[in-house]
A = this chain, B = another copy of it.
Amino acid sequence: MAYSNALAALADPTRRLIFERLRKGPRPVGKLAAGLPVSRPAVSQHLKVLKEAGLVQERRDGARHIYQIDPKGLGQLRAWFDRFWDDALESFRAKAEGGGENTG
């Protein structure tokens, strides 16, 4: 259940800000922290969470740590979402037509 951690990671507003900044491309920690309403160490901690959730990747460029979005984690999350979406719609359709109790 990788999407579990990913979902929890994206629940935090600050973490979403960081993640959305990463959407436009790779960034070092300092660049990410600049302009954000929290300190740089806080950003580091958030990046650690995002990394462990499989949402971002880390790369080294000298003294700088470059972070970028991990398409794999994002893909898993999206896959879970799509499946959920399909199931829910199917359930609605079944309700609209026959209407009745399901398995569960």
Residue count of chain A within 8 Å CB distance of chain B: 35
Q: Shortest CB–CB separation between residue A50 and chain B, in angstroms?
A: 13
Q: Shortest CB–CB separation between residue A99 and chain B, in angstroms?
A: 10
- Complex Cα gap A103–B85 (Å): 33
Contact B21 A11 (CB under 8 A): no
- Complex Cα gap A101–B31 (Å): 12
* CB<8 Å pairs between A and B, sample of 21: A4-B16, A7-B7, A7-B10, A7-B11, A10-B11, A23-B84, A23-B87, A23-B88, A23-B91, A24-B87, A24-B91, A24-B103, A25-B101, A25-B102, A69-B88, A71-B89, A74-B84, A77-B81, A78-B82, A78-B85, A81-B81
